[in-house]
Structure 1
Amino acid sequence: MLSITGVFAQAPSDITKFQAFLSHCKLQAPGSNTAASNTVLNNGYTHGTWFHVVDGDKILFNQTGDSNRTELRDEVNWNLNSADRSLHATIDVVSQTPDNYQVTILQIHDDANAGSGPNKPLLRIYKHNNKTPNNHIWAVYKTDITGDINAHVDLGADPGGYFNVDIRLVNGNMIIDFEGVEKVNVDVSYWTFPSYWKAGVYLQDPGTATAHFDQLFTGDGSTLSKKKLEIENIKIYPNPFVDGVNIDTKSQIQSLELYNLLGKVIYKSTKVSDFEYFSRSLQSGVYILKLISEQDRTSTMKLVKQ
Structure 2
Amino acid sequence: MRAIQITEFGGPEVLQLAEVPEPVAQPGQLLIEVDGAGVNYADTHAVEDSYLSSSSLPMIPGGEVVGRASDGRRVVALTATGGYAERACAWAPMATEVPDEVSDAAALALVIQGLTAWNLLRTSARLAPGESVVVHAAAGGTGSLAVQLARRFGAGRVIATASTKEKRELALSLGADEAVDADPEGLKDRLVEANGGKKVDIVLEMTGGPVFDASLAALAPFGRLVTYGLASRAEPKPLTAGALMGHSRAVVGFWLMHALGRPELHAQPMAELLNLVASGDLVPQLGGTYPLADARVVHEALRSRATTGKLVLDPRR
* Alignment TM-score, normalising by the size of structure 1: 0.28
Q: Which has the higher strand share?
A: 1
Structure with greater proportional helix content? 2
